[in-house]
Structure formats: structure tokens, C-alpha cells
A and B are shown apart, each in its own frame.
Chain A
Amino acid sequence: MILTVENYTKRFHIHHLGRHITAFEGLDFTLEAGQFLRVSGPNGVGKSTLLRCLFRSYRPTTGRALYQSLHGEIDLARAADVDISLLRREEIGFVTQFLRPRPRVTTLELVAEPLVQAGAADAHAQAKAEALLDAFGLKPALWQAYPTMFSGGEQQKVNLARALIRPRRLLLLDEPTASLDAAARESLASLLADLKAQGVAMIGVLHHPEDVQNVIDDTITLRAPIGDTPSQPTENNHVAQ
């Protein structure tokens, strides 16, 4: 097993409302190298929250997530921040729908950047970036442009290329197909199949699983949220019960 998740819970404590909001509770699942696990469930059930709790953009409330890193076993729930930074640089990737372009950074530079940061030569990184952008069907005329002005679909192609340019051992995918056209969805599906064959483990939140049906091995379904509970009585609680 590359990942063993036990009793994972995320509860948000919203101090100014004096409330706890539970996203999910007591989750258990395992993931093997080369396995694709789909997280399903209705909106608001905590699917993205689960991915963020594994990537540690969110701090989980209970449980553990034992990950077999190249440096040894580590619990993602309690790993030191600098260890998480190291894993994000080397092993664990997160693919979201949202691109965060930077001023004066071209599409090609933005896509190549993670590979350059990992120590690859500029020319190699650029060639790989071009190949990925081409695979997702982003017009070459846009490669030297700044992605700030791109459409949602174009931005997502840039984002996917950037997220997938570096080899990863564990990929967390949050709605990777959300605003892609049919051809790009197909490219993504075949790219994910290649990564699976290379042994990359993946956990994906997908509203349209048929886009990548052939790569999904297993599905976990999150139950409806338990709801929120007041953390302690407060005098000025403006929220309707």
C-alpha cells in the first residue's frame, strides 16, 4: 500500500460563529501504487476537503494517513510542515481547476517551471511543456502568451500541463476535467492511463467519471455531512439554527 488512511476526520472550527462544521468523519481507505480511486458523493460532502487534508492545505482533525515515501513511511496528518513541503516538491502533486498565473510569466514558462525547479535543463523542460500543451490541444500561438487572459478551458489545460509535467508518486485530482473540451478530456484520460501504468497512485474527484472511466479502479462514496454543531454557546450567534 502506498497510502493507508484511517479514521480521517475534518471538522472546521469557525471561531466568529462559534461553530464546528464537519466535512467528513472517520474515513478509512487504502491505495496501491498504480491504483486510481474515485471519491464520489453529492456536492458539499467534503470530497475536495479530503484531497486538501491529504495535501495538507487543510489540517485534519483526527486520524492518520500513512504514506510510503521514497524517504520512508510518514503520516501525512502529522508530518512537519517542512516534510510536507519536501513531499510536494518531490512526490505528491495536486491538480485543481484553478490556475494561478503570474504577471510576465508566459504559458510555456509557467508549465515548465516545476520541472526547472526540480533541476531539469531549461531546454528539456521546455520540450516537455510543449509536448503536454500540444497533447491537451492548446494552440501553439498561445504558448508565448500570458495565460491571465485565457478562457477557463485554456487555463485548465495550462494548469493540467503544469501539474502533470513532473513525475509524481501520488496525484490528487480535483475536477481535472471540469471545463475541458472532448479532445482534451480524451488526452487527459490517456495521459492518466500512462501514469497509472508507471505506478502513479491517484485519488480523483470527478463529476463526470465517464470522461476517464477506463482508469478508475475503485470508488469511495462520502456520506452526507453530519452537520454543524455549536462549539460553545455564544451570545451573538447570527446564524439561524
Chain B
Amino acid sequence: MTATYVPDVVPLDAPKLVAAAPLLTVRNVAKQYGRVQAVNDVSLDAYPGEVLGIVGESGSGKSTVLRLLNLQEDPDAGSYTLNIPQLAEMNLFDLDPYKRRAVQTHHIGIVYQNPHLGLRMRYTSSGNVAERLLITGERSYKTLRDAAEQSLAVSEFPLERMDDMPAHLSGGMQQRVQLAKAIALRPALLLLDEPTTGLDVSVQALVLDTLKRMQRETAVTMVIVSHDLGVIRTLADRVVVMRHGCIVEIGLTDQILEDPQAPYTQQLVHAKL
């Protein structure tokens, strides 16, 4: 199965009705690890309040894209802008480490599949969340505590357990602490890397429901990476399909799942549904 095919559809125009500029714009990003081209010429946009899904098999490069969006790694090529007043037009990949860290702290939240990557397991849960505000210089105990409680409430964490350590919590609750931490500073962009993979199916549904509610209430722009098409169908407005580091197809979620165009997407959808 090759990646080249001639799409048999009416081509799409640039947006005409949506006046807002994309919040996130990525152009021609590439990243190589040794001899492996992990990400190859990836370009994508996410509009304010949109949920963009990225799907693909292991090794498709989808998690690498997320790490690049989180400014955790340097690409070999490409640009990345966030349409936020102080940052507009700036290629975030060009920032020095100090400024990059500031952008990460103030404007980007991330939830990892593995809670150990996102949490200090032997701090209290509330402390994990409050730490985000400490970084910005907040020192008032009451403000920190109130903010932590509020974020934990938004992520529908049982507040009576907010002083328990993540190490003592279930997987679903750990993900809620990660989520609370990620949104504590009200970022413009929330990145989710397989946020429900590894959870029991029933817990997974509850966490997805929380994400959906939260997205509706805060209108945060989300990029969610998952290999699970059910998760993507529940959350995403549009989907990017990746394979071997390249984008195979981008479309509305229902269109990608019901009328996939690329040979690879047809294979992927029919294998999973």
C-alpha cells in the first residue's frame, strides 16, 4: 500500500466563514532520530476551541509531534506559532530555552499517558496542581490551595482526596490530577497523549466525559493523540491521520471514519471498527 493516490473528491477551499485565525500553526516540521525520520514535513492548524485528533499506529510519529508542540524537543526543520498576543508571528522553535520554558508554563498544558511523567507521585495531589502556580511566583497559601481545589473540581476529582498522594490513587484519578495540573494556569492549548489508554473501559468513558465537559466549558484548544478511534470519535472535531512520520489525510472526524480517502486510512478504519 503506497501513500500516493489521487483523491477522487472535490478539492477543499481555504476557510471562508470562520474569521478567526488558527490558534496553532505548524509548518513543514521534520524530526529525525538517528536514521529514523520520526516526523516528516508535517503541517497542521488548530482553530480556537477546536479539538484536533492525531491518530496512527505506534511509530507513526504522532507522539513526537505532541512533544514538539510541547516544546520539549527541537525539530530539525519547520515552524510553530501560537496566535497569542505576545507570541503571534514568533517561531516558538527559535526561542531560547528560558523563553520557551515560559511559553510552556503559561500557554501549554499536557497530560501524559503515563502519570509518572506528569506527576510527583509522593507529593499531595493538591500540591502537584499548586506547583504550577508556584512556578509563576504565587506564594499565598490560600490562593494556591483555592486554585488547586478549583482545577481539581473542574477535572471532576473527588475533593475529599485532594491531599492524597497520586501514588495512592487509581489510574483514572491520577489522570484527573494530571488534567487539573495541566489546566491550572488556564493554558490556551491543552495537549493529551493517549490520556485514557490503560484505564478500565468504564473509567475511560468517565475521563472522556470529563474532557468533553471541560472543553465545552473552557473552550480550550486541544490536540489529542490516540490510537483508539473510539476516543477520537468522542472528542475530536477534526482528525489528522499519520503514518511513517507523514500526514496521510486530514478531515472532519465523521468523514475520516465513514468516508476515508487514503488507502491507509481505509485500512486503519476498517481494522478498528
Contact = CB atoms under 8 A, between A and B. Distances in A.
Interface in A1-30: 11-16, 20
B2 to A, nearest CB: 10
Nearest to B45: A82
Interface stretch (B122-130, B131-139, B258-266): B258-266
Interface residues of A, number: 39
B32 interface: no
A60 B8 CA distance: 8
A60 B10 contact: yes
Nearest to A14: B266
Interface stretch (B14-22, B88-96, B108-116): B14-22
B9 interface: yes
Contacts, number: 99
9 contacts: A15-B5, A16-B263, A57-B259, A69-B17, A72-B16, A78-B11, A80-B16, A80-B18, A81-B12
Interface stretch (A83-91, A150-158, A164-172, A193-201): A83-91
A83 B16 contact: yes
A61 B12 contact: no
Interface string B186-209: 000000000000000010011001
A191 interface: no
B205 to A, nearest CB: 4
A103 B206 contact: yes
Nearest to A91: B17
Contacts of B1: 15
Contact of A60 (B9, B16, B250): B9
A104 B156 CA distance: 13
A64 B238 CA distance: 22
B205 A103 contact: yes
Q: List 4 A-B pairs, minimum CB-CB distance, nearest first.
A: A15-B263, A59-B9, A103-B205, A80-B15
Contacts of B164: none
